[in-house]
Chain A
Amino acid sequence: MELGNPHKADRIMKPDLPWHSRFDLLGVTFLLFLAAALGALPAIEGSGRDLDYLGNLSRFAAQFFPPDWSILDRTLAGLLETVQIALVSTLLAIFLSFIISLGASRNVSPAWLLWPTRMLLNMIRTIPSLLWALLAVVIVGSNSLAGVIALTLYSVGYLAKFFSETFESADLSAQKALQSLGAGRLQAFQYGLWPNARPIIWSHCLWMLEYNVRSASIIGYVGAGGIGLHLKLYAESADSWNKFSLVLLCILVIVTLLDFAGEKIRKSIRDKLEGTES
């Protein structure tokens, strides 16, 4: 009879665990998330009016088509400025983040520097990019410099955190091996840890550039340069949704291209690092 139940032997060997021990951290946090999300449902209320949702949507969406191609030149110029803001701010952010991330890495930085640096990064991340843009516009006026300042600060909050996590999780064995062969701290970092961290760091930089192109498209809304200003103008004039849709289309094209290129580059870096491609 025992042949009919292949799990019986297992059950005898391994007595059933109490029900609560099946919940690990992952299970518990997922359940908490589910409970909180369901609990939040009553907070989502409609206007209470009897609106024709689908009718509204189709009437509004119809105004987007066909896109108005007559403004293509203007849009491309705005888009170029957007990409330029993203490029400059990402470069500045990479530079700043590298320095700050060393202070925020447990395996590089002393404790007295570690915690203040991490606090600073937390504070920077708390402020959304649009708010950074507002602040920058107040300080330097309504221009693309404000966009660069805003996105640089915003990116540093994320990039420095990514960089420091990369330094902390990178393979440290080569660094230790070089130190045992007589290398100094800086040399062991440069030739032992940095080569292992560099591909991952470059991946993060590409991701940040993509992200910044997206962000740079919206900060113009508050006057910080780029295509966002066009979006604002078209959204505020009642009959320009077809112009608005062309701008969106252009943003979609550039973001998709960047996403595609970034993914290709990241994949080739990953393959090379894992030794699956020579």
Chain B
Amino acid sequence: MNSSLLETQGLGLCISQRWLFRNLDISIPPQSFVGVTGPSGVGKTSLLRLLARDLQADEGKVCSHLQSGQNTAMIFQDLQLADGASALNNALGGCLGRHSGISTFFNFPTPEKEAANNWLEKFGLAGKSRQWASTLSRGERQRLAICRTLLSNPRLLLADEPVASLDSEWAGKTLQILKDSQTQKGGSLVCSLHDEDQVQRFADFVLRLHPSDPTSWSWETLTKRTES
């Protein structure tokens, strides 16, 4: 049995003739929060897309040790919501992978609707579930995108700056919910973050990418302070 959910071996990505990172060897252990940091444009989003198999690596590879039925899901930086659909239907989009097109053609199964409503409530969107996504504020849209991805119940959650549009209270709350929901089911979370305080507070490991040298990335284990 492998002790990691996912690992990379000598991973490298070159975009527009510039190497973002090379020789990247990391391993994502179960029940862990991995923070990815670095200045804008350093390649955080590209790395997450590589881990999600949405991009092809230019060298090295990504090895998944997830068992069948366990999935990877991503929270996109640009949210990618359906503007003309209600918040509830957007959130329910996360459960589509578990059901056939026919069974979700007219309606969603009741347990899924209950689960979606639970997530919406947790993220302060309970009163807005019938509203079109286009009418929500940026922060609400970001929380809605998180609900959708969480409903897909991923073992490995890849979050691309999931708290960028949230105020500090919701940012902390959101990261805590993400961390709890992943660790409780033995899953992990890889999350790109800009705020060093958030990294120190929530991450178990941190991958730092540097813009000057694609091979000078660093991987640190953070010792957790016990929260009072």
| Cross-chain contact of A190 among B80, B94, B105 (Cβ < 8 A) | B105
B92 contacts the other chain (CB 8 A)? yes
- A199–B94 alpha-carbon span in the complex (Å): 23
Check if B96 sits within 8 Å of A273, measured CB to CB: no
What are 13 A-B residue pairs whose CB atoms fall within 8 Å in the complex?
A178-B93, A180-B74, A181-B152, A186-B101, A186-B105, A188-B96, A191-B93, A274-B134, A275-B83, A275-B135, A275-B136, A278-B131, A278-B135
Check if B80 sits within 8 Å of A173, measured CB to CB: yes
Which bucket holds chain B's interface residue count?
A: 20 to 34
What are the nearest 4 A-B pairs in CB distance? A182-B97, A195-B85, A183-B96, A177-B80
Which residues from B are CB-within-8-Å of A183? 93, 96-97
CB distance from A210 to the nearest CB of B (A): 22
B115 contacts the other chain (CB 8 A)? no
Check if B89 sits within 8 Å of A180, measured CB to CB: no
Interface string of B91-111 (1 = CB under 8 A from A): 011101110110011000000
| Cross-chain contact of A174 among B81, B98, B132, B149 (Cβ < 8 A) | B81
B residues whose Cβ falls under 8 Å from a Cβ of A: 52, 54, 71, 73-74, 76, 78, 80-85, 89-90, 92-94, 96-98, 100-101, 104-105, 131-132, 134-136, 148-149, 152
Which residues from A are CB-within-8-Å of B52? 180
- A190–B103 alpha-carbon span in the complex (Å): 13
Check if A196 sits within 8 Å of B83, measured CB to CB: yes
CB distance from A93 to the nearest CB of B (A): 22
Check if B71 sits within 8 Å of A182, measured CB to CB: yes
Which residues from A are CB-within-8-Å of B74? 180
| Cross-chain contact of A198 among B54, B84, B92 (Cβ < 8 A) | B84
Chain B: which residue is nearest A189 at the CB level? B101
Which residues from B are CB-within-8-Å of A192? 82, 93
Which residues from B are CB-within-8-Å of A174? 80-83, 85, 90, 93
Check if A273 sits within 8 Å of B101, measured CB to CB: no
Chain A: which residue is nearest B152 at the CB level? A181
Which residues from B are CB-within-8-Å of A128? none
- A79–B193 alpha-carbon span in the complex (Å): 65
Check if A187 sits within 8 Å of B96, measured CB to CB: yes
Check if B93 sits within 8 Å of A181, measured CB to CB: yes
Check if B134 sits within 8 Å of A178, measured CB to CB: no
CB distance from B109 to the nearest CB of A (A): 13
Interface string of A142-184 (1 = CB under 8 A from B): 0000000000000000000000000000010110111011111
- A190–B94 alpha-carbon span in the complex (Å): 13
CB distance from B85 to the nearest CB of A (A): 3
CB distance from B76 to the nearest CB of A (A): 6
- A191–B94 alpha-carbon span in the complex (Å): 10
Asked, given contacts A181-B152, A196-B83, A196-B84, whether A191 binds B96 with beta carbons under 8 Å apart, the answer is yes
Check if B132 sits within 8 Å of A182, measured CB to CB: no
CB distance from B141 to the nearest CB of A (A): 9
- A198–B78 alpha-carbon span in the complex (Å): 22
A264 contacts the other chain (CB 8 A)? no
Which residues from B are CB-within-8-Å of A171? 83
Chain B: which residue is nearest A193 at the CB level? B82
Known pairs A191-B82, A191-B104, A193-B82. 17 more at Cβ < 8 A? A174-B83, A177-B80, A178-B96, A180-B52, A180-B54, A181-B93, A181-B94, A181-B96, A182-B96, A183-B97, A187-B101, A190-B101, A195-B84, A272-B134, A273-B84, A275-B136, A277-B135
